[in-house]
Chains A and B, each alone.
Chain A
């Protein structure tokens, strides 16, 4: 996407993970994504998608190999350092039910900046602008998240993920609960906002029709064999 010779947003080398030795394992010889790249990961359920997401977001630590996010060696960090790295550098959008139902829309959006250690007063204005750009009008900001439609909730989730200006956005089938009209609108605002902040996107889905939005693709089945560098 970008041709600036910078540190890659994400870099994996000889990454290996398994729950028990000898059982199923995930192996990625090499994966490099430059800043602002959009990657589509296709995989059926059971193919290790969730494991990959847990590894990329620093929830679990790889058994061996190297994993760099924005130049930081995630595999060497302690768990609390990985948590704060996740707060600052990685945004996550789930399939559905992304929001804490009893918090207001604005507070939901501000969660990530809270954990990133950014002051509330500094973040509120940006959060409101971001929400408005994502098509959530001012009057919705004070409603509790549970009152929104699914499509609106997913857009609040994007706002939360992007608010601390992360290097990486991980989306785990975020469109599966949306109808096709909503899905297209969602994909457009997601990628537009990611581009606006220069954020790298890893989008996981089994829905082949979403491939059209991405330049780079990766099949979970291929991971054992190796991956084309980007």
Chain B
């Protein structure tokens, strides 16, 4: 009966309850969403690259270099010449290197020129290697290996022909149509920007740009794919490269030496340090967001209590009837509390649903635009803590109208004071 009273009483006031429910849903979804994004973003960021001791690019800030080389966000300001790269990797402390050439795309996905060292040395998360779900690494010039997301979203199979575009926009007007690539491998899912990348050889990048200059085709000089293969395809420059060292102790020495490299202005960064700096920057923003969403939640809860307090006046008759029928004042206290908890619980359920749907809808956009890989599993320990905290806060605030009902029940008795 208590439950029925609470339920029907809420239904009776469904207009205001609906608005309260809406505002609570939004604020709880906001709170849970920001908390979810915080943990997911941190996981996503820190698991993107591992095992790499240094990342080297043309001279720039370390965040810029990290963003374009690892997260495929933004662009390099300048390139590294091939001879410089060759000279640096002869350093005795360097165990392996992965060259990276960026600047082209395929239907919005970035194309990365590299060599087969990429497949053997690149590590992510807990030192996991890249594995091929299908096919093999590229061998010939016009062969491509797709990230899992690219293959899935564009529906590509092995042996399919794809065309690369110049530039990195989702829509490009200059295509390398004359030199199609064959898909020879598809990587297993990693949950990192690798999934969103089309991998080709450095020679391929060189080949498709043979008849280009300053980012545009040279008029009257068109080379077919066969003609291109006959040319010298040694790259002239790359965008960045990753280094693995023989000994971690040497990291700072090698970094200093690269930063002081005379022939070309270069920057070498420690990915761990750069990731931490990036995270610190984002973490502060997200702490602020969390604080704001907490305040929004508080405002919504206070709003709910306000509407309930306002309704207490018109419900005096109801309370007097319940009293006359034999209800103890505590019964009225519990009734008000139950109503508040019902609204809050309902809002939490709808907030979880809204959040899940929003993440489901935005997952691809977040991944494509920001390199954030956000999981859909929003039910975890911290969200349970938050839910408990929200319920507790609601119950705490609800003692105000509930106590009012209790005290009025004692003082007014069966009389209806106007």
A111 contacts the other chain (Cβ, under 8 Å)? yes
* The residue from B1, B11, B330 contacting A114, defined by CB atoms under 8 A apart: B1
Query: How many residue pairs between the two chains, A and B, have CB atoms under 8 Å in the bound complex?
Result: 73
- A84 / chain B contacts, CB cutoff of 8 Å: 326, 328
Interchain CB contact under 8 A, B414 and A87:
no
Interchain CB contact under 8 A, B413 and A59:
yes
Interchain CB contact under 8 A, B328 and A80:
yes
Interchain CB contact under 8 A, B326 and A103:
no
Other A-B pairs beyond A107-B1, A111-B321, 11, CB < 8 Å? A50-B413, A54-B415, A59-B414, A60-B413, A87-B325, A94-B320, A94-B414, A99-B321, A100-B318, A102-B12, A115-B331
Interchain CB contact under 8 A, A53 and B328:
no
- B414 / chain A contacts, CB cutoff of 8 Å: 50, 53-54, 57, 59, 92, 94, 172
Interface residues of B in 318-343 (CB under 8 A from A): 318, 320-331
- Of B2-10, B35-43, B231-239, B394-402, which stretch is located at the interface? B2-10
A101 contacts the other chain (Cβ, under 8 Å)? yes
B317 contacts the other chain (Cβ, under 8 Å)? yes
Looking at A60, A84, A110, A115, the one whose CB has the most chain B CB atoms below 10 A away is: A115
Sample (6) of A-B pairs whose CB atoms are under 8 Å apart: A79-B328, A79-B410, A86-B324, A94-B320, A111-B321, A111-B322
Interchain CB contact under 8 A, B326 and A102:
no
Task: Tell me the nearest residue of chain A to B415, going by C-beta.
Answer: A50
* The residue from A79, A100, A101, A112 contacting B326, defined by CB atoms under 8 A apart: A112
B244 to chain A, nearest CB (A): 72
A83 contacts the other chain (Cβ, under 8 Å)? yes
- B321 / chain A contacts, CB cutoff of 8 Å: 94, 98-100, 111
A42 contacts the other chain (Cβ, under 8 Å)? no
Looking at B5, B322, B328, the one whose CB has the most chain A CB atoms below 10 A away is: B328
Interchain CB contact under 8 A, A86 and B326:
yes
Interchain CB contact under 8 A, B12 and A101:
yes
- Residues on A lying within 8 angstroms of B by beta carbon are 50, 53-54, 57, 59-60, 79-80, 83-84, 86-88, 92, 94, 97-103, 107, 110-112, 114-116, 120, 160, 172
* The residue from A54, A99, A114 contacting B413, defined by CB atoms under 8 A apart: A54
Task: Tell me the nearest residue of chain B to A160, going by C-beta.
Answer: B325
B151 to chain A, nearest CB (A): 57
Looking at B321, B328, B329, B331, the one whose CB has the most chain A CB atoms below 10 A away is: B321
A175 to chain B, nearest CB (A): 17
Tell whether A83 pairs with B4 under 8 Å between CB atoms, given A94-B414, A102-B12, A111-B322.
Answer: no
Interface residues of B in 67-85 (CB under 8 A from A): none
Interchain CB contact under 8 A, A97 and B326:
no
A169 to chain B, nearest CB (A): 12
Interchain CB contact under 8 A, B415 and A57:
no
Count of chain B residues with a beta carbon within 8 Å of a chain A beta carbon:
25
A145 to chain B, nearest CB (A): 10
- B320 / chain A contacts, CB cutoff of 8 Å: 94
Tell whether A102 pairs with B327 under 8 Å between CB atoms, given A57-B414, A59-B414, A172-B414.
Answer: no
A57→B5 CA distance, assembly (Å): 23
A100→B331 CA distance, assembly (Å): 16
A52 to chain B, nearest CB (A): 11
Task: Tell me the nearest residue of chain A to B317, going by C-beta.
Answer: A97
A57→B320 CA distance, assembly (Å): 12
Looking at B12, B317, B325, the one whose CB has the most chain A CB atoms below 10 A away is: B325
- A83 / chain B contacts, CB cutoff of 8 Å: 326-329
A190→B8 CA distance, assembly (Å): 29
Interface residues of B in 95-134 (CB under 8 A from A): none
Interchain CB contact under 8 A, B326 and A115:
yes
Interchain CB contact under 8 A, A111 and B325:
yes
Task: Tell me the nearest residue of chain A to B320, going by C-beta.
Answer: A94
A115→B413 CA distance, assembly (Å): 17
A93 to chain B, nearest CB (A): 9
- B317 / chain A contacts, CB cutoff of 8 Å: 97
- B331 / chain A contacts, CB cutoff of 8 Å: 115
Interchain CB contact under 8 A, A115 and B318:
no
- B318 / chain A contacts, CB cutoff of 8 Å: 100
A228→B394 CA distance, assembly (Å): 55
